[in-house]
Amino acid sequence: MRIKNVKVYREDKSFEEGEICIRDGLFAAPGEETENSGEQEETLDGEGCYAIPGLIDIHFHGCMGHDFCDGTEEAIEEIAKYEASVGVTGINPATMTLPVEELEEILATGAAYGKKQQAQPDPARADFLGVNMEGPFISEEKKGAQDARNIRLCDVEIFHRFQKAAEGTVNYIGVAPEKEGALEFVEAVKDEVHVSLAHTNADYDSAKAAYDRGACHAVHLYNAMPAFTHRAPGVVGAVADSPHVMAELICDGVHIHPAMVRATFKMLGEDRIIFISDSMRATGMPDGRYTLGGLDVDVKGNHATLVSDGALAGSATNLMDCVRTAVKKMDIPLETAVACATMNPAKSLGVYETRGSITPGKKADLVLLDKDLRLKAVIKDGNVLTETGR
C-alpha cells in the first residue's frame, strides 16, 4: 500500500510532505513494497492530511459502557474496538483498588485476552500491551474515586501474585511512598515493573526518596496528590527534580488548567510527558450514571464525578480528543502533542522498537487527521479501518 499526499510525522517530531509505504503490515521504505510484490499497488490519497502514528493510551479504564475491571474478554474486545476506531491502536488499561482475589481474576483475564489476540490478530481492535495497576497500594487521603475499603499497604508477595496472574503483563504498579513499607517495596520490585507514585499524600522528601530508590513514573500528575506550592512542592516538585521520571497528564480540559499544562512542559520538557485519557466506561456514551471501581459516578459532558462526594472520577474523554484539546485549547504544538501520545508512551512501555513512530520495519499503525484535526482514517497493521478518498 502507498499513502500519498500526506504530511508525515517524523521521528524528529516534525511534519514533512511526502508518502508512506506499507508492506506485510509494516512500514516500508518508499518503493520497497513494489519491488517485492508482483501485485498491483494499492494507493490511498491522504488529501493533504497529517499522518501520525497510532496513539497509545497507557492509563484508562474503559469506554462504551465497558470497564477493564469487568473482568471479561468480551469487555476488553469492545474496549479495544472503540479505541481503534478513534485512532488509539495500543492500549494498556488500568485497574482500580479492588480486593486482591478480584484483581487476580481481572489480570488473568487480561493475560488470556492478550494471548488470544496475538494468536488471532484482529486489525479492528487496538493491541493489548499490558496493565497499569493504579491500586491497591495507595493513600486513603488521596484515594479520589478509589474504594478505600480495599486499600492495602505495599506487599511484595501480593505484587508477585498480581504479576503471576497477569503472566508478566503488569507494566506499572502505583504506590503511595509515605505509607509504611513503601520505600522498601520500591527497591524490591523496581527491576520487575515501572513503579509509579499514585493517589499519594506524600511530601517532597517522601516522593523524592521513592524516586531516588527506583520509582520512575507519576500517575496523572497534579491529580490525587498534594498541591504544588512554593513552600511545599510535593510530588510534582520531586518529579521535576528526578530527570528519569515520566509523568502522565490528563489533557481533557477538566483535570488540569491549560496554563498549568503549559507550565508543566516548560518544567519537565516534552520528552518526559505522556498524555493519558484516564477514561471510564461512560466514554463514548450518553450522559448518565455509571460505575467506576464499584462506585457510582455521574457523567455530564466530559465531567465524571463521584455521586458520594463529587470527586473527579476519571474522564469521559478518549485520548485522541485529549490530543485535540491540548492543541486547540491549551496551545501545545501539534508536533509535541503527538509525541506525548505516541513516541513517549511507546518508549515508557519499552516497545518503541516496534511501534510509536512511522519508521520502516515498525507496525503500520497510523492515523490521518485533517487540518482541523478531525479523524479521516485509521490504518492498523496496514489495514484501513476508516478511510478518506482514494
- Beta sheet of 88-91, edge-to-edge order: 55-57, 88-91, 127-128
Q: What is the largest CA-CA distance in the chain?
A: 68
Residue-wise DSSP of 275-305: EE--B-TTTTS-SEEEEETTEEEEEETTEEE
Instruction: Say which residues have a Cβ less than 8 Å from residue 263's Cβ, sequence separation at least 6.
Output: none
365 belongs to the catalytic site: no
Asked if 124 contacts 79 with a C-beta cutoff of 8 angstroms, the reply is: no
Number of H helices, E strands in the chain: 11, 22
Task: Report the distance separating Cα 22 and Cα 5, nearest Å.
Answer: 15
- Tell me whether residue 100 is exposed, middle or buried, using C-beta atoms within 10 angstroms of its C-beta: 0 to 12, 13 to 18, 19 or more: middle
Q: Which three cell numbers stand for residue 116?
A: 488470544
Q: Residue 45 carries which DSSP code?
A: E
Active-site residue, selected from the candidate residues 67, 70, 252, 278: 278
Q: Which three cell numbers stand for residue 63?
A: 469506554
Residue 134 C-alpha from the chain's centroid:
12
Task: Report the distance separating Cα 271 and Cα 343, nearest Å.
Answer: 9
* Cis peptide bond upstream of 123, omega within 30: no
- Cα dihedral across residues 25, 27, 33, 36: positive or negative: negative
Instruction: Say which residues have a Cβ less than 8 Å from residue 230's Cβ, sequence separation at least 6.
Output: none
Could you give phi then psi for residue 217, rounded to 5 degrees? Answer: -145, 155
Determine which helix (DSSP H) or strand (DSSP E) holds 207, and give its type and residue range: helix 204-212
Task: Report the distance separating Cα 135 and Cα 107, nearest Å.
Answer: 13
Q: Which three cell numbers stand for residue 26?
A: 509494516
Supply the residues annotated as catalytic: 278
